[in-house]
Structure 1
Amino acid sequence: MSQKSKSMIVRFKILQTALNEFANYSYEKSSINRICTDGNISKGVMYHHFKDKDELYLLCVRYCYDTMLDYYKSKLKDNDDWREEIKNFLDIRYHFFRENPLLQKIFFNTLLKMPDHLKGEIKKITKSLDELNYQFSMKILKKIKIRHGLKPEEIIFLLDAVQNMLNEKFYGKAQKSEEIEEISQEYDRTAEKWIDIMLYGILER
C-alpha cells in the first residue's frame, strides 16, 4: 500500500471519530484528547494530519454540508404542483437527517452553537447550501400567484428574517440543553409551521 493511501485511510479514521465527537459534544465541549482515545490515534499522528481542533472541526462541518448538498441534488425533482415541491423539499431534509443522525447533530450544533471565531469560515462552507435554498425559494415564488405589489426578493427577505428569529430563539435553548436532536426536531416543526403561516396567512380559510 502506498504512503498516500495509508495517509488517506488515517485521515478518514480521524474524520469518522471526529464526526462522532463534534456531533455529541459541539465545538466548545469537544476534545482532541477524547478523539485520540476513542479512535486509538496517537497525538503525533493527529497533529501530523491536522494542525488544531479548528481545522478538524471545519473539515467535519464541510463534510456535513457537502454530503447534504449532494443528497438534495440527487433527490430534488420538478413538479407542476408547487405544494408537492415544497413537501418534497422538506421530506428530503427529513430523510437525510433520519439516515445521517450524526450529521443532523453537527448541522444543528453548527447552526445553534457556532463558535464565534469560526463564523467567517463556516459561512463560506454553508454558502452552496444557502444558495440552493435561495434558488428553490425563488423557483417556488415564481410559480405562486403572490399578492400584487410584492416582489419575490421582499418575500425572501421576510423568510430570512423569520429564520434568523428562529435561530436566535433556538440558540438560547441549545445553550441550556445537550439534547440537540430533540431541539432540532422542534426547530423543524416550528419552521414548517412558519412556512405555512407565510404562505396562507393567519385568517381562517
Structure 2
Amino acid sequence: MKRDEKTQIMRRKIMDSALAEFSRQGYGASSINTICTAQNISKGIVYHYFKTKDVLYLACVEECFQQLTEYLQTNISYENSSIEKQLEIYFTLRTRFFQTYPVYQRIFCEAVTAPPAHLKSEIQKCKQNFDTLSTQILRQLLTPVSLRPDISIEDVIETFRQFQDFINIRYQMTDLNGHSFEEREENCLKALSILLYGVIQRKEHENTNE
C-alpha cells in the first residue's frame, strides 16, 4: 500500500472516531482520549494529523457542511413547483440528509445554535458555502414573484436570517438531545412561510380582482 493511501486511511479512521464522539458529546464534553480508545489509535498519531482538539473539531464541522451542501446541490429539483412546495422540498432534503447521515446532526446543530465561542469565526468559514447556497435558493424562489415596492429581496433574506437567529436562540436554550432536529427545521419552514405570506387568512373574494 502506498504511503498516501495509508495516510488517507488513517486520517479517515481518526475522523470517523471524532465524528462519533462529537456527535454523542458535543465539543465541550468530548475527549481526545475517547476518540483514541474507540479506534485503538495513539494520541501521538491523532496529534500528528490534527494538532489540537480544535483543529479536529473544525475538520468535522467542515466535512458536515461540505457534505450537506453537496447533497442539496445534487438532489434539489423544483420542476416548476409553487413557492410553498419548493420551500417544503428544500427543508425536506435537509431533514433527509441528517436522517441518512445522523452522525452530522448534532455537529450541525451545535455549529448553528451554540458554537464554541473561541471557534465561532472559524466555524463561520466552514459554513460559508452552505450559507451562500441557502441564500441563492431563497433568492431564486423570490426572483419570479412580485414584492411590495418598498421591500427588496435582500430585505427578505436579511429578515429571514433574523428569524433563524431567534429560532436558534430558542433551540439553544433547550437540551439538544430533548429538542428534535425535525422540530427546528419545521420552525424554520414555518418562519419563512409567515415571512412570505403573513398570518392572516385572506377571504376568497379578497383574492379576486372584484
Residue aligning to 2:143: 142
- Whether 1:199 and 2:196 are equivalent positions in the alignment is yes
Matched, 1:127 2:128: yes
Q: CA deviation at 1:148?
A: 3.1
Aligned length, in residue pairs: 201
Runs of 4+ more than 4 Å apart = none
- Asked if residue 22 in structure 1 is aligned to residue 19 in structure 2, the reply is no
Give the gaps of 5 or more residues in structure 1.
Answer: none
The residue aligned with 2:63 is 63
d(CA) in 1 for partners of 2:144, 2:79: 11
Structure 2 partner of 1:179:
177
Structure-1 residue corresponding to 2:207: none
CA contact (8 A) 1:26 1:113 kept: no
User: For the structure 1 residues 178 and 149, does the alpha-carbon distance in structure 2 shift closer, same or farther, using more than 3 Å as the test?
Assistant: closer
Contact 1:170/1:183 (8 A) holds in 2: no
CA contact (8 A) 1:72 1:92 kept: yes
Partner-residue secondary structure (3-state), 1:168? helix
Correspondence list, 1:89-108, <5 A: 89-108=90-109
The whole-number CA distance in structure 2 between the counterparts of 1:109 and 1:150 is 32
Report the AA paired with residue 177 of structure 2.
Answer: E
Output the amino acid matched with 1:125: C
Aligned to 2:155: 154
Give 1:58 deviation, angstroms: 0.6
Greater fraction helix? 1
Equivalent of 1:188 in 181, 185, 188: 185
* Stretch moving more, 127-136 or 188-197: 188-197
Q: Confirm or deny: 8 A CA contact 2:88 2:189 kept in the other structure.
A: no
5+ long unaligned stretches in structure 2: 203-210
Distance (whole Å) between structure 1 residues aligned to residue 78 and residue 176 of structure 2: 38
Q: Which has the larger radius of gyration?
A: 2
Is residue 83 of structure 1 aligned with residue 84 of structure 2? Answer: yes
Q: Judging changes above 3 Å, is the alpha-carbon distance between structure 1 residues 94 and 28 closer, same or farther for their aligned structure 2 residues?
A: same
Residue 13 of structure 1 pairs with residue 13 of structure 2:
yes
Q: Map Cα deviations across residues 125-175 of structure 1 (whole Å, 9 max, x no partner).
A: 1001100011111111112222232111111111111111111111121xx
* Deviation by residue 1:3-44 (Cα, 9 ceiling, x = unmatched): 221111111000000000111111111100010011111112
**Under a length normalisation based on structure 1, what TM-score does the superposition of the two structures give?**
0.92
Q: Percent identity?
A: 33
User: Do the aligned partners of 2:91 and 2:185 also contact (CA within 8 Å) in 1?
Assistant: no
Q: Do the aligned residues in 2 keep the contact of 1:23 with 1:109 (CA within 8 Å)?
A: no
What's the Cα RMSD here? 1.4
Query: Structure 2 counterpart of 1:48, which letter?
Result: H
Q: Which residue identity is paired with 2:181? A: S
SS of the equivalent of 1:143 reads: coil
In structure 2, how many angstroms separate the alpha carbons of the residues matched to 1:188 and 1:83? 15
**Deviation sequence 1:81-127 (CA, Å, 0-9, x none):** 33332222112112111101111121112222210111111111100
Q: Could you tell me which residue of structure 2 aligns to residue 111 of structure 1?
A: 112
Against the structure 1 CA distance between its residues 52 and 194, is the aligned structure 2 distance closer, same or farther, given a 3 Å change threshold?
Answer: same
